[in-house]
Chains A and B, each alone.
Chain A
């Protein structure tokens, strides 16, 4: 019998599995897809590697939050490549360019300098506001581990109950500057009505410390963890979709795989998939899980999804940039991205270069990412991968061309040098990773309802637990934190 049966071999499931396996437990990780990794997957087409979700991480330098966690997970020796210290991200707003520098003081100074060199005047109050903002982010990041010892840590919950947008208004005051510091936050959903300060501050804080790509793609993280689990005597099974949790006498006894093909027994059960899907797998009849809890979880909103264009470039023509580029139409459009923008020009884009593994100064691949909304896709919601029809393909092609055209304004070398491209939409993510409506970052946290949207790892069934991006914080750092939260607080 396994000590832990884990549903989902994405980052969260694999990290938690690795930690428990390392401690001597018998682990079984079950993945529905034919490949592990979830949002870390890298796919191969015509001999080329393309990333799907993950593009870069923050805070991986010695003594920084992710470094501490990845040390325990033995992930530090992967080929991490640090982005440029003085410009790890470039934010383009209309025709103004801003560069994000690492280190909180340097970050603040650079924003202020760039602001002036773009022809803006800055008030003393706003300049001080930027410095205060940077100090605040440092402080929030310095305290990230508090939540590991106490899930309901009051400082953390206070930040979850505060509005990110209001904080920026109160601290920075100048709307243009608010846009600039938010300009790289496509990796979270900038929604003024709901976004908690915790999410905004923790993620931005980690990247300002240091920013890193992984040469050769995100899949290596998943592969390394899975290999580790196996070396510690555990199992990772693919094509193994959990279709039911079998609850008897108040606890989960086993999971059923592929509609009854097999059952796997265990002492503890961890689900890293969306909480709504998790609860749907526990039959209602005689369950410890109350209907009201199911209803509440089912009614939670999820964040937007992502449209991605993976571009294969002709060799030796497009210079590699050791930073990401974010492109926005205007200062005000930045905080409007949580809603569908009918005018394509008003949509924000992110450009990420894949780090060359051969030391070349030219890029082989770039990815363009753009938030995408379920209402753009409802027409095809009942279709499956590869069978969505010509109209869908046409919609994707047109959108990709618009993205490429826009990005070419800033990277002119792209013109005529694109060999091939692939696209994916939230439907792709929905069908591969099982996330609801293809949401990129899972359950939308809401500062007005922090208690309801920030979920705890435990459930009303004493041996059923949850982890993953839907709980506390999304992204590689956030998900790793949720895996450690469960590891530390589970008292296993």
Chain B
């Protein structure tokens, strides 16, 4: 999967499931603010990504990720691992 494809897929599922406009998702945007995440829905985001891309994510790993750009890189690394 190319980075471009991955970005498109990620944005699509996040916008869809967290009920935000896809245009609101900006690469340098803050994930928590954009998706209105609280500590509970972070788990939902992890679950969604795990399911969509078939990867396994640890709680400690996610807490470090702040922006969408960082999230894409993180998933890409996992997918290609």
Contact = CB atoms under 8 A, between A and B. Distances in A.
Contact of A458 (B17, B18, B40, B44): B40
Contact of A292 (B17, B38, B56, B59): B17
B70 to A, nearest CB: 19
Interface SS of chain B: helix
Given A157-B59, A296-B47, A291 B17 contact: yes
Contacts of B44: 290, 292-293, 296
Interface string A430-462: 000000000000000000110110001011100
B43 A460 contact: no
Interface string B38-75: 11110110111000000010010000000000000000
Contacts of B17: 291-292
A293 B39 CA distance: 12
Contacts of A157: 59
A292 B18 contact: yes
Nearest to A459: B40
Contacts of A296: 43-44, 47
Nearest to A154: B60
A451 B19 contact: no
Interface residues of A, number: 14
B59 to A, nearest CB: 5
Contact of A293 (B40, B46, B56, B59): B40
Interface in A102-159: 157
Contacts of A292: 17-18, 41, 44, 48
Contacts of B41: 290, 292-293, 460
A291 B19 contact: yes
A290 B40 CA distance: 10
Contacts of A451: 43, 46, 59
A458 B46 CA distance: 18
Interface string B1-39: 000000000000000011100000000000000000011
A157 B60 CA distance: 11
A146 B18 CA distance: 33
Given A296-B44, A460-B38, A460-B41, A290 B18 contact: yes
Given A290-B18, A292-B18, A456 B59 contact: no
Q: Of B19, B44, B48, which is in contact with the most chain A CB atoms at under 10 Å from its CB?
A: B44
A452 B41 CA distance: 10
A296 B17 CA distance: 11
B77 to A, nearest CB: 20
Contacts of B59: 157, 451
Interface of B: 17-19, 38-41, 43-44, 46-48, 56, 59
Interface of A: 157, 290-293, 296, 448-449, 451-452, 456, 458-460
13 contacts: A290-B18, A291-B17, A292-B18, A292-B41, A293-B40, A293-B44, A451-B43, A452-B47, A456-B39, A456-B40, A458-B40, A460-B38, A460-B41
